Amino acid sequence: MPSLEQKFTLHVPSSTQNLAMIRDFVSSVGEQAGLREEDVAKLELAVDEACANAIEHAHGHDATKEVVVRATFDERTLHIEVVDTGRGFDLGHLAPADVEALVHERRSGGLGMTVMRSLMDEVSYEIVPGDGNRLRLVKRLDK
Partner 1 sequence: MPHPFVVHRSTEGELSVLSLDGHLDAHTAPEFERAIQAEIDDGRVRLIVDGSDLRYISSAGLGVFMSFIEEVRDKGGDIKICGLVPKVRQIFDILGFPAIYDLVDSRDAAIQRFAEAPTREV
Binding mask 81-100 for partner 1 (x = CB under 8 A): ----------------x-xx
CA distances from 136 to 71, 80, 100, 101, 116 (A): 10, 6, 28, 28, 10
Report the helix count and the strand count for the chain, using DSSP H and E. 4, 5
DSSP E strands in 14-143: the ranges are 66-73, 77-84, 122-127, 133-140
Return the residue of 10, 45, 80, 83 that touches partner 1, per CB under 8 A. 45
Return the residue of 34, 56, 79, 141 that touches partner 1, per CB under 8 A. 56
Binding mask 18-37 for partner 1 (x = CB under 8 A): -xxx-x--------------
Contact between 119 and partner 1 per CB under 8 A:
yes
Return the residue of 1, 90, 95, 106 that touches partner 1, per CB under 8 A. 106
